Amino acid sequence: MDYDLIARNPKVFCGYSDITSLHYAIAKIAKLITFYGPMAMTQFGEHPAPIQYTIDYFKKALMSTEPIGNVHPSMEWTDEVLDWGQKKDLERPRQLVPHEGYIWVKEGKGSGNIVGGCLYSVLQMKGTTWDLPYENTVLCLEVPEGQSFNTGTPLAYVDSQLMDLRNAGIFDGIQGLVVGKPFKYSEQEQHKFIDIIKKHTQDYNFPVLANVNISHTDPIITLPLGVKVTLDSYKNIFSIDETGVRD
């Protein structure tokens, strides 16, 4: 990729999951803000229309030069998969269920420029040219599907990957951690997921917010990577304090 050309001609780069690596490379070399958010097929191709929460935060992030401000959790969510190949997604809308809201795994207040993305991709960046500095940042992490679109990432993988991030020293300098709502976990697995996060962050002082709409579940926000955000458990606030676009 010609990062000099990209830097001279800034465009919106938006998406999630394993293109986390491209978010990192563009941020590191082209010095541009990118957006961890919806994609053409999975969100904008939703039948019969995209979920309004996703659209609202996409517009807030990309169609206004004002900061997004306080990010509220969606009222409903889904991780249902309707097979695109068999056009099952055209037969009915996916079923939405009530969203439980934010989970403060650790209380506190912190702020910094937000970096991160899909957990395994963040880990893959370690030791490469494209890795980003983590000192005084807020890290966001989310976990994808497992071996198929009907399974979540094995919890043993999440456990070991978070341990790898700890061993790499990433948690030593961050000011907060934002974790997306996990995909295709049972209620019991969701509780274990939170316990794993708690285990790996218990020796640090930064706040940890989980169950956020930044994952492979729907709906999702559009998160400008590289801008200042604030976490405040005492006020139940996750706010995006700077804009990712300019006039």
Per residue in 196-239, pLDDT tens? 999 999 999 999 999 999 999 999 999 999 999 999 999 999 99
Three-class secondary structure of residue 19 per DSSP: helix
Two tokens at 208? 């940890």
Total structural domains in the chain?
Answer: 1
Its pTM stands at: 0.96
CATH of the domain at 12: 3.50.30.60
164-172 mean pLDDT: 96
pLDDT of residue 145: 86
* 92 domain-assigned: yes
Residues sharing a CB contact under 8 Å with residue 93, sequence separation 6 or more, in sequence order: 46, 47, 48
Q: What is the per-residue pLDDT for 149?
A: 79
Q: Which domain does 146 fall in, by range?
A: 3-240
The predicted-structure confidence for 56-112, as pLDDT tens digits, reads as follows 999 999 999 999 999 999 999 999 999 988 999 999 999 999 999 999 999 999 999
At residue 237, the 3 state secondary structure works out as strand
**Residue 193: CB partners within 8 Å, gap ≥ 6?**
143, 155, 158, 182, 185
| Domain assignment present for 247 | no
State residue 28's pLDDT score.
97
Task: Answer whether 113's CB lies under 8 Å from 137's CB.
Answer: yes
Helices 155-167/187-201 angle, 10° precision: 10
- Whether residue 246 lies inside any domain: the answer is no
Residue 114 has pLDDT above 90, yes or no: yes
Does any domain span residue 209? yes
On whether residue 245 sits in a domain, the answer given is: no
- The answer to whether position 31 is within a domain reads yes
Identify whether the C-beta of residue 212 lies closer than 8 Å to the C-beta of residue 73: yes
Q: Which pLDDT score, from 0 to 100, does residue 237 have?
A: 97
Give domain status of residue 134, yes or no: yes
Q: How far apart are CA 207 and CA 15, in angstroms?
A: 26
